[in-house]
Amino acid sequence: MKRLFDVVVASALLVLAAPFMLVIGVLVRTTTDGPALHRQTRVGWKGRPFTMYKFRTMTVGGDDSAQREFNRRELAGELDHLESFTLPEDTRVTSVGAPLRRSSLDELPQLVNVLTGDMSIVGPRPSLDWEVELFDAKYQRRADVRPGMTGLWQVNGRRTVDMNGMLQLDLDYVDQRSLWMDIQILFKTLPAVLMGDGAA
């Protein structure tokens, strides 16, 4: 039932979003050097790597060492005093990329990942391999389900929740998941995005 739900919802959203995706792709391609789409390897279901698609929001070849250090400190609990758990002044983000990230429109190409079965509409955030290496072993159960385009983290504050909090929400989803929960999260996602609830 979940897979059928994913295919139906992703197909419908892809048809509705196609004109907007075309415009976004043109904007990204013509305002910055590099491709419109960003392909990135993420850790998926049962720990299997897959290629995730997003609209490119950063400069090509940017150094991610600052992001890695920021995430390490975040997982170590060294950023509790911050109101928003996001890397400040990330110089890699382009002028077009910033609003795309705030609105989550950069993630629309992930609908293709849902159709191919690498992702689900609702599930844990798809993590990078080097992020997974930083996670406590208890969070390995996140890989028991497919990663999602949206989830409990996205509708519960997004970047006002630190990474440890996000990972715990992912485990809560794994333990409590149901089709009804997916529907509830999906309907909560749109207003959360429109209001920029906790967005970077």
**pLDDT tens, 114-147?**
999 999 999 999 999 999 988 989 999 999 999 9
Q: Please provide the average confidence, as pLDDT, over all residues in the chain.
A: 88
pLDDT band at 57 (very low <50, low <70, confident <90, very high): very high
Give the mean pLDDT of 167-187.
94
Structure-token pair, residue 98: 């910033």
Instruction: Give the bridge partners for 43, in sequence order.
Output: 49, 127
Inter-CA distances, 166 with 11, 40, 70, 125, Å: 28, 21, 15, 8
| The dihedral formed by the CA atoms of 178, 2, 191 and 57, expressed in degrees to the nearest 10 | 130
Share of the chain above pLDDT 90, in %: 62
pLDDT of residue 86: 64
Contact 197, 189 (CB under 8 A): no
- pLDDT of 70 reads 79
Confidence of residue 193 (pLDDT cuts 50, 70, 90): confident
- Which stretch of 41-45, 75-79, 108-112, 196-200 has the lowest confidence by average pLDDT? 196-200
Q: What is the pLDDT of residue 8?
A: 96
| Mean pLDDT of the 152-172 span | 84
CB under 8 Å to 144, separation ≥6 — which residues?
46, 174
Residues 6+ apart with CB under 8 A from 145: 45, 120, 123, 124, 173, 174, 177
Task: Answer yes or no: are the C-beta atoms of 102 and 192 closer than 8 Å.
Answer: no
Supply the pLDDT for residue 197. Answer: 54
From 142, 104, 102, 101, select the one nearest 123 (Cα to Cα): 142
> Residue 186: enclosing H or E segment and its boundaries?
helix 179-194
Residue 29 pLDDT: 94
Please state which of the ranges 12-21, 73-82, 182-191 shows the lowest mean pLDDT. Answer: 73-82
